[in-house]
Chains A and B, each alone.
Chain A
Amino acid sequence: MTSAVVMHGLTKDYGSGHGLFDLDLEVAEGEVFGFLGPNGAGKTTTIRLLMGVIHASAGTATIFGLDCDRESVAVKREVGYLPGELPQFGGMRGNEVVTYLGGMRGGVDRARVTELSEQLELDLGRRFREYSRGNKQKLGLVLAFMHRPRLLILDEPTSGLDPLNQQTFQRLVTEARTAGGTVFLSSHVLSEVEETCSRVGIIREGRLVSDMTMDKVHELRFHEVVIEFSDSVPEAGVRAAAGVEDVSVNGTRLACTVHGRFDSLLAAISGHAVTEMVSREPSLESIFLSYYSK
């Protein structure tokens, strides 16, 4: 499989420890890559480097083998871009913005624009300044998807969208992927990444701290288990059980986390009277929060 996006030692140093440092990352063609991280982690900086809007302090970034800085015009022919925040187009109507920016690209696929605006339920006849935040975001999505690009670079794409339109967005991403497209999207909302991405990279303080497939992400999952015993608590046996961590005992109540299968925990408590047992799977959000805090 060929690479759509390749970054080698990509660095943008703003000084005082701010920026992006030594980013090595590859995104394969056909992949939907989620770039996760808290606010200010360096997601937008990475995206702007890919778009050639800002220049790297060191390192390189290529898209389909084209240098994002030196060959940025050729790169943009292949890319559909949604910035973190759309600029003010004032009194221009939505359909004028589409034709204006589409004209810079050489033309507009009218049928595609109509299809997208209908799917997103966006009235292109209204003036930009009359649009709500969500409608501005929808217009941004139309602009990014309208020329069926090989690569979509989307900065926080569902920001401001209602749940129904978030589902529409997920469908659009799936369609793009089915058609052979690649998607690079940034987010700090895990649930959105969970729904759409095949791989995620986690960035923190300008450095990539993790890069894994969604399958591996799911392997990070664990269960929080609380067991109420009628008399004695087999604490030593539970602590010794494989895959069991964070054991705490309060009277006849034992709490722990279980990674993977439950067999060893069940073996450790066998022979003890259990009055209540509750197992809860935390959301991916909680999993990553604990990951960030490490």
Chain B
Amino acid sequence: MSARLLLRLHRIGLVAMAYFGIFYVAVNSAAFPLIAGKTRALQEAFGQSITLLGAQFSWLLPSPIRPDTAAGYLQWRGYGFFAILFAAWGLFSASGAVRRDEDRGLVESWLSAGISRLRLLSTRTLFFAAVSAEIVTLTGAAGWLGCVIAGTPPAVSGLVGESAALWALTLACFGLGLLVSQIVANFRAAASAGSVLLVVMFLLDSIGRSSVHRAPFTDISVFFLFNQSNAVAPGGVFDPAATVLLFVVAAAATVAASVGFVRRDVGAGLIHPRQRPKAEVHEPSVNPLLRLAVIRGLWIRRVGALGWTAGMAVTAASVVLLVNITATFFASTPTLSPYLRGLPGNVHTVLLALIWLSFAQALVAIFAITYVSRWSSDDSSGVLEMQLAEPIPRWGVLGERAAELTVTVTAMAFVAMAVILALSPAEGIPLDVGKMVSSTALLVPFGLTFAAVGALLAGWRPRVAVVTLSTITVISYLVFELGPLFKWPNWADNLSVFQLYGTPLITPVFVGGLIAMLAIAAVGFGSAGVVLARRDVAA
């Protein structure tokens, strides 16, 4: 297997982790003086606020150590949070390497080409170990650079130790992902079972950390082992024994997975659920939903749509519950409290608006990208060709796609709105229902804007549509997030699609932005229709 092929197979995880690892760490460390303040007194006050905030979030992240320093802040905000991200990356990379590639028939073709099972698994493992080491190293380097920019470089030995622990955690999760993937028979089951395992281990560590009584089996959690090290923070420690134990978990799980892979049939899991004999079916489905335009697509993708809707609702609920904590944190932080005084309207409402709408926009944009990804794969997999073999015009297919996305985004946004409206009175957050409805409704043209650009890209060059749209989205989001922080000029801010949405929960609807979004959506889908009509499909 060539390195190029392996890179291609791992590209999504690599791009995502490069962004979260390198960019996120560098920006957060470098921006420390802007957030915490430039004088020692301000930074100490900031540290106290973070310590209070950290106590409330101890179920999620380990308690902060010296958050009044850039390195301490990096340890808490960066490495604490990254444990979850890197663990998930390791797990899903392993599930994909084993099960997704097997579902696609790639594993069978590699094995039939003469590669042994052990060699295949070890090649995938070694490649992942190499790239994850690289990402972890670059993350550490980015953190060091950020702290240098912030004026307080951390100890290199501490960064090296913490990076080793993070790498060990990633590999342990990769190994566990490999092992779980041998037991079940397809990617969905492997990813689900792996996620459950990860959540259980996370909760074991979380309960052990936040409860008075030590929870049983906490020590077997890979998160517990990782959190024994906090070497980036001044005064923090590196626990070599815990890190070595993580490597041992990684090695043992990988060896066990190899044995499982050698013993099981390709395309099957180690567990064979006995299939009950069923009578053969020779009639078409009677489901009327499959026959109705737009509804049929929604029905086929109902599980994904429900998952997104539930995810958005949970995020909305979490945001509502976080508003009071965040308001307290802002009020008690000297560098942040001026922001509260300058806000238009009730503090809680404004914070809800800023946090929720930022999350909602990001989620809707990501959702639009996943839809565009499906449109592209429909083209390359032949689904579009089959659809066009039926007597429906190409613009009909495009219209159905846009309508399906509109309905799903509407459902996601309004269910989340209902959750917010239901929870906010109990949290003492006054909300204007009219503004809530308009800000929710605006998420639809916002999503359509990304989808229209994606539809045009998918119609023009389906193979590069997702990468290009993702790049546009990330740049757009960064401009939106970083512009105000670094005081970029207005014209630069206005390049962001996120800017066009405005802040409709606290300010009047940005009519110019709405018109611009609708115009982009109309022009994008219109152009996509023209491009799709002229293009060869499945060529």
A residues bordering B, Cβ < 8 Å?
48, 51-55, 72-74, 76-77, 79, 81, 83, 85-89, 92-96, 98-108, 110, 113-114, 117-118, 122-125, 129, 143
Contact = CB atoms under 8 A, between A and B. Distances in A.
B284 A99 contact: yes
Contacts of A107: 291
Interface of B: 103, 278-287, 290-292, 296, 300, 378, 381-383, 385-393, 534, 536-539
Contact of B282 (A92, A93, A114): A114
B395 to A, nearest CB: 10
A64 B292 CA distance: 29
A87 B284 contact: no
A83 B389 contact: yes
Contact of A95 (B278, B283, B393, B536): B283
A138 B539 CA distance: 24
Contacts of A100: 290-291, 296, 300
Nearest to A51: B389
A113 B290 CA distance: 16
A180 B482 CA distance: 69
A58 B495 CA distance: 43
Contacts of A81: 389
14 contacts: A73-B392, A77-B391, A88-B382, A95-B283, A99-B285, A99-B291, A100-B290, A103-B291, A108-B291, A114-B284, A123-B281, A124-B280, A124-B283, A129-B103
Given A99-B284, A110-B283, A87 B385 contact: yes
Contact of B290 (A96, A125, A129): A96
Nearest to A118: B282
Given A118-B282, A124-B282, 6 more contacts: A76-B388, A95-B285, A99-B284, A103-B290, A106-B391, A114-B283
Q: Which of B382, B385, B389 has the most CB of A within 10 A?
A: B389
Q: Which of A92, A125, A143 has the most CB of B within 10 A?
A: A125
A98 B382 contact: no
Nearest to A52: B388
B196 to A, nearest CB: 20
A104 B300 CA distance: 14
A102 B284 contact: yes
Contacts of A98: 284-285
Given A48-B538, A55-B534, A96-B285, A125 B280 contact: yes
A85 B386 CA distance: 10
A87 B382 contact: yes
Contacts of B287: 96, 99
Contacts of A94: 281
A22 B349 CA distance: 70
A54 B391 contact: no
Contacts of A73: 391-393
A5 to B, nearest CB: 16
B386 A51 contact: no
A103 B388 CA distance: 13
Contacts of A99: 284-287, 290-291
Nearest to A96: B285
Nearest to B378: A87
A255 B392 CA distance: 60
Contacts of A87: 378, 381-383, 385-386
A90 to B, nearest CB: 9
Given A55-B536, A100-B300, A85 B382 contact: yes
Given A100-B290, A100-B300, A125-B278, A51 B388 contact: yes
A103 B386 contact: no
Contact of A53 (B280, B392, B536): B536
Q: Which of A79, A83, A87, A108 has the most CB of B within 10 A?
A: A87
B370 to A, nearest CB: 15
B103 to A, nearest CB: 7
Nearest to A100: B290
B386 A93 contact: no
Contacts of B286: 99
Ordered nearest first, which 8 A-B pairs have the shortest CB separation?
Answer: A125-B281, A103-B291, A87-B382, A104-B390, A54-B536, A99-B285, A76-B391, A81-B389
A110 B285 CA distance: 9
A51 to B, nearest CB: 6
Contacts of B282: 113-114, 117-118, 122-124
Nearest to B536: A54
B292 A103 contact: yes
Contacts of B390: 76, 101, 104-105
A113 B284 contact: yes
Given A55-B534, A87-B381, A87-B383, A76 B290 contact: no
Contacts of B290: 96, 99-100, 103
A77 to B, nearest CB: 4
Contacts of B283: 95, 110, 113-114, 124
A110 B284 contact: yes
A73 B76 CA distance: 60
A52 to B, nearest CB: 7
A53 B284 contact: no
B539 to A, nearest CB: 5
Contacts of A95: 281, 283-285
A110 B282 CA distance: 9
Contacts of B278: 125
Contact of B285 (A54, A77, A93, A129): A93
